[in-house]
Amino acid sequence: MSFGPDLSFPKELKIRKTSQYEDIFGKSKKLRGEYFDILHIPNSLGYSRIGLIAGKKKVPSAVGRNRFKRVLREVFRNNKPLFGSLDIVFIANRGSESLSYSQATREIEESVRSILSC
């Protein structure tokens, strides 16, 4: 019996602690996008981790902040191999509450390819 790719999203793939965020903010490189900014640093874990930040000033509605996070988590979960071994933090920009899954996928794929090509 053959199973498809692993589409789970365990705790190990999330950046959760303040110290982890501080490390990324202190050492990362930044890419600016239309809907979100990306902070990234390589890690030695062998898999990528994701952090999401959606502030009230950029995305005023709680529904919009939650939708932004849900969409990006889903893109990350479905495209884990694309990210390699990076710690990535996505920071919401104004207008990101209207972000669709296809827009997020396109912007993330372009950004990650440019990160990995450097």
Span 24-37, average pLDDT: 90
Residue 1 belongs to a domain: no
- Mean pLDDT (the chain) is 87
Residue 22 belongs to a domain: yes
Residue range(s) defining the domain that contains residue 82:
14-117
Give the tens place of pLDDT for each residue, 40-61.
999 898 889 999 999 999 999 9
CATH number of the domain residue 45 falls in: 3.30.230.10
Residue 29 belongs to a domain: yes
Span 87-92, average pLDDT: 93
Structure confidence at residue 64 (pLDDT): 93
User: Nearest Cα to 65, choosing from 52, 75, 77, 82?
Assistant: 52
Residue 80 belongs to a domain: yes
9 C-beta neighbours (distance < 10 Å), count:
15
Structure confidence at residue 69 (pLDDT): 93
Residue 21 belongs to a domain: yes
**How would DSSP label each residue in 24-67?**
HHHH-EEEE-SSEEEEEEE-SSSS-EEEEE--TTTS-SHHHHHH
1 vs 63, residue with greater confidence: 63
Residue 74 belongs to a domain: yes
